[in-house]
Structure 1
């Protein structure tokens, strides 16, 4: 008999009220959306990750190495003058290796954790990760521990379901179409009583997608860092993308 396995997805916002959590129960022949909620404080997130075989978290797990080095060099007045401070130099400073890989592979542009508002939930995750480590739960940036970094929008692109403007109140109709398409693409996924919650709130839907990707990572169906980027991923984080349809 197949022992049920729990996978967790977290759509992490800086504001707990907008943070989504989904739990999947993998029964072998089917995977059931066991619970979806929007509104999760740090305690709820720590508890959810600790209960999971694998947790997918929609948030950057680290900062670009070049950005960290620049800040430290600037702090100590040791920064050498660059030949130019133009867009190419800034791009090399502000984006992680994994951000550029996602753009190359699926055409999605992750937000820069060094220069965009995504830094606020990333800082929240840094504090949560510290709590998890204190509890003996490994959460290295490259995702080889219990938690891995995911990007629902890029996962949809990998599944050839990109193009939906499904965020916010105005995206409800698109979310209804997207849930229907996901049901067709993932016939083993039983939405149970949570279909409507995912149509009503994009944070709930992203949490379910994050949990599905976490399951893919656990099953070896997502792309790990290539050897030449493994060292950078261990510092900066790595966005795990499903391998495709």
Structure 2
């Protein structure tokens, strides 16, 4: 696969990243004259396609953790050196501190949703691929990727974006939930009549990976316009290494 050239409009890209290409989707959305048009959607995206898509976009949203919790990294390093300091209580709170990033807590506080733990769940497998992609992107562009969302890449969470926009955000995953996914797409198009899925509407109805890639591209637009959450003073240092999930702070219509 190779990235495809587009017109002069502002382009955002969304990446629904999985550990393997077969479940990875990329969406390109072009913005012009108060409208947005899905130029392409690719399901089964390999590393080359992802890199070229990000390099060609004004902003790219990746649905995957961009880093690991600082406390978890320190814990693993100490364990490797045989120098783990055992806290007073080895209970749930201690393990949660190792499992959750600062941004995961912030998302839960704002939306009630709980992102998967990159240090204690299967999302770690896509995160490993993501780390390699970000390293390759830094080499090819000559600039390190800002994990706090301040650069060309931002971490996104489609379910949280959908919820903040007042759209259906649960139960649309997997092939057997095509009907629920169809209702979500219907609600999205009703809320954003300026958005055209074009020839790719059927792909979004058929594949939750494709649908999430489009939502990721829309969230990237929100981030590019400064319409998302950003780390507070006490969160900045962690966001730089752990990553920061950008959550929309305005209605969907503001993206125009």
- Distance in 1, Cα, partners of 2:80 & 2:159: 36
Which runs of at least 4 in structure 1 moved beyond 6 Å after TM superposition? none
Alignment of 1:28-67 (within 5 A): 28-67=33-72
Question: Does the aligned pair in 1 maintain the 2:61–2:153 contact within 8 Å?
Answer: yes
**Aligned residue among 210, 230, 239 for 2:236:** 230
Q: CA RMSD in A?
A: 1.3
Alignment of 1:112-151 (within 5 A): 112-136=117-141, 137-151=143-157
- Distance in 1, Cα, partners of 2:193 & 2:70: 40
Does residue 7 in structure 1 map to residue 12 in structure 2?
yes
TM-score of the two chains, using structure 2 as the length reference: 0.92
- Distance in 1, Cα, partners of 2:98 & 2:112: 20
Aligned to 2:218: 212
Cα deviation digits, residues 59-103 of structure 1 (max 9, x gap): 000000000000111111222111111111100111000001111
More deviation, 71-80/170-179:
71-80
Aligned-pair distance for 1:163?
4.8
Flag structure 2 segments of 5+ consecutive residues without an equivalent.
1-6, 252-256
Aligned to 2:161: 155
Equivalenced residue count is 244
Flag structure 1 segments of 5+ consecutive residues without an equivalent.
none
Does residue 103 in structure 1 map to residue 140 in structure 2?
no
Aligned to 2:201: 195
Aligned-pair distance for 1:27?
1.1
**Aligned residue among 77, 80, 87 for 2:82:** 77
